Structure 1
Amino acid sequence: MNLLRTLKRCAVAGAAVLAAVSLQPSSASAAASSPAPPVVGGQRAAQGEFPFMVRLSMGCGGSLLTQQIVLTAAHCVPATGNNTSITATAGVVDLNSASAVRVRSTKVYRAPGYNGTGKDWALVKLAQPINLPTLNIADSTEYNTGTFTVAGWGSAREGGAQQRYLLKATVPFVSDASCSSSYPTLVAGEEICAGYTQGGVDTCQGDSGGPMFRRDNAGAWIQVGIVSWGEGCARPNRPGVYAEVSTFAAQIRAAAATL
């Protein structure tokens, strides 16, 4: 794993693979305009706004692929197998809320061939279903453009503490060509970038595994990315890098069917 990929993922020593990104500015699209107004550290999400969001106890985010399976990042979890060590918290924007639903894991499935570069997706099966809406995943690159929403409980600034309340922000698509100029190790076809050229809005430490999503043609939310890595948080010309969900959609669904 090269240095750039390590910077965002492993920002908090001691938290088993915490890392990756939390709502602060990042970016690298020469064509992207700045947000108006800038959302530094994100804005607080409303209760019920993103009901599919999940917080995992190792310090990562995730989304409900089904009511009993969480889609997250491979770098957040250990190898595939039985695992009862993870607690998923859902149903609230305030992690301290008495209304939070908390369910333990039973199994983990990490993307085959994951080695720290690309293929950054994983599944966590829960002991019981959570009765909340799920988040559809993109099957094609049709939605890999435009403006995306990101959300998480990660740091509101680079090196900062993780958050009690769910934060949200929007970030624009960054082309592979532009992103590769910032990150020569970008795995085109497996990773997708988003952020502002001047920085100011991005995901950060503790947002790893959370979804990057947008509206589909029917107006429903659809997931196009999984928070993966980046250099710092919200730095100019350093966009966030996300696992490209459409590339792995068939594998994700097939793996979920086996859990």
Structure 2
Amino acid sequence: MVRWRRLSGLLAAALAAVTAGSLTLAAPAAAADDSFTPNVVGGTRAAQGEFPWMVRLSMGCGGALYSSRLVLTAAHCVGATGTNTSITATLGVVDLQSASRITVRSNYVYRAPGYNGAGKDWALIRLATPVTTLPTLKIANTTAYDNGTFTVAGWGAPYEGGPQQRYLLKANVPFVDDNTCNASYSGDLIPAEEICAGYTSGGVDTCQGDSGGPMFRRDAAGAWIQVGIVSWGYGCARPNFPGVYTQVSYFASAIASAAASLGG
């Protein structure tokens, strides 16, 4: 079964058209019941500048600006570590068709060492030119913020099997403890590496096209801090199936080391 909240190749091509303003998407039929998928279901439109470090990636994923040259995203969104000039990052806007959007090509991808489709779902994309006009999103390096209520945002589908969005959507989701989450997913969770969030009743979640985007909350000083990376889930916003996110605090030192090696 497909477990990711990344777009297929055809949908990624459609996303590129949405970004360019050349396509209007109609809602397709609902996804099959046995599909694992990650858009923000139950969300509302974000205001321009509200989350200025959000990034849209041309392969149909999200990300966050880790530094002026690096985007933090999900490993399942990218290929192997190495030179890669095929990805376009769109930044600085909530409207993907805005004339003020910033677009930058990639020049290198770093995928988490040992990634094999289960856990270790993080990657860094190095941009060909730095983006110095936007703030970055710091990552959690302790578990102190791995609880409470989180915010998610993305341009993915607003319902399971739905179309990608032109405007950035946001939503709040509560923490779900590892035991409860693991029971929902019949033991497929990797508790040390993954963190869950969502409502027992469903209705609010990330969805197809949100993979790689950040899950974040306020830290003790009131600043935004990233605690998760959109990874996978069963359907979108289904009751008793919370979203599953890469637990950033677990990988913080590895991410920092990789970023340093990439010059960022």
TM-score, normalising length from structure 2? 0.88
Question: 1:54 aligns to what?
Answer: 55
Question: 2:240 aligns to what?
Answer: 237
Q: 1:10 to 1:207 in 2, by over 3 A?
A: closer
- How far 1:13 sits from its partner (Å)? 5.3
- How far 1:14 sits from its partner (Å)? 3.8
Q: Deviations over 1:70-111 (max 9, x none)?
A: 000000000000000000000000000000000000000000
Distance in 2 between the 1:11 and 1:77 partners? 12
Task: Report the 3-state secondary structure (helix = DSSP H, G, I; strand = E; otherwise coil) of the residue aligned with 1:106.
Answer: strand
Coordinate RMSD, CA, aligned: 1.6
Equivalent residue in structure 1 for 2:5, among 3, 9, 34 = 9
Q: 1:253 to 1:20 in 2, by over 3 A?
A: farther
- How far 1:12 sits from its partner (Å)? 3.3
Percent same amino acid among aligned pairs? 69
Distance in 1 between the 2:261 and 2:70 partners? 11
Contact in 2 for aligned 1:8/1:233 (Cα 8 Å): no
Question: 1:174 aligns to what?
Answer: 176
Q: 1:46 to 1:190 in 2, by over 3 A?
A: same
Residue type of the alignment partner of 2:195:
I
Question: 2:46 aligns to what?
Answer: 45
Distance in 2 between the 1:178 and 1:146 partners? 15
Equivalent residue in structure 2 for 1:21, among 3, 17, 38 = 38
Residue type of the alignment partner of 1:85:
S
Q: Deviations over 1:38-94 (max 9, x none)?
A: xx2x10000000000000000100000001100000000000000000000000000
Distance in 1 between the 2:139 and 2:3 partners? 27
- How far 1:189 sits from its partner (Å)? 0.8
Question: 1:33 aligns to what?
Answer: none
Residue type of the alignment partner of 1:126:
L
Question: 1:215 aligns to what?
Answer: 218
Distance in 1 between the 2:196 and 2:6 partners? 19
Task: Report the 3-state secondary structure (helix = DSSP H, G, I; strand = E; otherwise coil) of the residue aligned with 1:66.
Answer: coil
- How far 1:255 sits from its partner (Å)? 0.3
Residue type of the alignment partner of 2:168:
L
Q: Which runs of 4+ in 1 moved over 3 A?
A: 7-16
Q: Deviations over 1:112-137 (max 9, x none)?
A: 00011000000000011112000000
- How far 1:7 sits from its partner (Å)? 3.8
Question: 1:152 aligns to what?
Answer: 154
Distance in 1 between the 2:142 and 2:211 partners? 23
Q: Deviations over 1:167-212 (max 9, x none)?
A: 0000000000000111111001100000000000000000000000
Q: Deviations over 1:139-177 (max 9, x none)?
A: 011000000000000000000010000000000000000
TM-score, normalising length from structure 1? 0.89
Equivalent residue in structure 2 for 1:165, among 167, 172, 177 = 167
Task: Report the 3-state secondary structure (helix = DSSP H, G, I; strand = E; otherwise coil) of the residue aligned with 2:40.
Answer: coil
Larger RCO, structures 1/2 (Cα 8 Å, 6+ apart): 1
Q: Which runs of 5+ in 1 are unaligned?
A: 25-39
Question: 2:207 aligns to what?
Answer: 204
Equivalent residue in structure 1 for 2:140, among 133, 138, 141 = 138
Distance in 1 between the 2:90 and 2:37 partners? 19
